[in-house]
Homo-oligomer: A and B are copies of this chain.
């Protein structure tokens, strides 16, 4: 056999470390990986278990993907797009966009904890990601803070922190997390209307 099928279609011999073009079969595998992770968690996402779920053997996966890092990067790219779409849909026609964003952010993570952790739990292999997918995940956040980058980052950090601490069971069971979210979002709200493109909340 010649070049492996996961290489970019255009100039297969020159590309290195470029986010691959998925073949249809490759896409099936990535979808299966997404579902396996989402349902059973990261320990279940092994090459052998994934292959089994597709009715093939583990080494066959390497005909479609270079390695597990690339597989995870593809799942992450997918997840960023799902995530971004969910946030955009939730905030689009909301009265209180900032709060709607917070609710949607938390909701996605609680619905897909393993996916969210994979997306955010360690340094990103940006060289393996589908181009633009990361931005698509964070676009709604940028919009909601009206172009104020520092505030946007602070708000993102707060939302991510609340989310990951809740997912990891870090707060006391008795904690009123709705109240903490309210408190945080309200604290940031003051800053959001002021600078430049003041948007109604």
**Chain A residues at the B interface, C-beta cutoff of 8 Å:** 120-124, 149-151, 153-154, 156-162, 164-165, 168-171, 175-177, 179-184, 187-188, 190-191
Contacts and interface: CB of A to CB of B under 8 A. Distances in A.
Nearest to A174: B149
A151 B120 contact: no
Given A168-B124, A170-B124, A187-B188, A180 B153 contact: yes
A102 B151 CA distance: 16
A52 to B, nearest CB: 26
A153 B124 contact: no
9 contacts: A120-B170, A123-B168, A150-B176, A153-B180, A157-B184, A158-B158, A158-B184, A160-B161, A187-B191
B121 A169 contact: no
B179 A150 contact: yes
Nearest 10 A-B pairs (CB), nearest first? Answer: A161-B161, A157-B161, A154-B184, A153-B180, A157-B162, A160-B161, A158-B158, A187-B187, A150-B179, A150-B183
Contact of A154 (B149, B151, B158): B158
Contacts of A153: 162, 165, 171, 175, 177, 180, 183
B165 A160 contact: yes
A154 B183 contact: yes
Given A158-B157, A164-B160, A165-B156, A183 B124 contact: no
A112 to B, nearest CB: 16
- Residue from the set A157, A164, A175 with the largest chain B CB neighbour count within 10 Å: A157
Contacts of A182: 150
A188 to B, nearest CB: 5
A169 B171 CA distance: 25
